Amino acid sequence: MNKTFNDPTNAKKIENWMNSSSKDNLVLNYKGDGTPIGRGVKRGTTQVEDYSNAKIGLTPVFWTLSLLI
């Protein structure tokens, strides 16, 4: 997955997303080399398949600092 994060286009998307005040998730596509990274069942089927591609979802975390005096 490093190639996904290190891709210049994705790196710029991540940087812009991190610097924005957006509360939206950022979704990046990971295209594997054919090696399975997981297994799953497609909607509407019952057959388990190997998956080598994925969607990576980044979720913003908002911290609240409270000062009690």
pLDDT digits (tens, 9 = 90+) for 13-67: 999 998 988 888 999 999 999 999 999 999 999 999 999 999 999 988 765 556 6
| Per-residue pLDDT band at 11 (split at 50, 70, 90) | very high
Confidence (pLDDT) at 9: 94
* Separation CA 28–CA 59 (nearest Å): 12
- Torsion angle in degrees (nearest 10) through CA of 33, 16, 19, 15: 40
* Separation CA 17–CA 11 (nearest Å): 10
CA R_g for the chain: 17
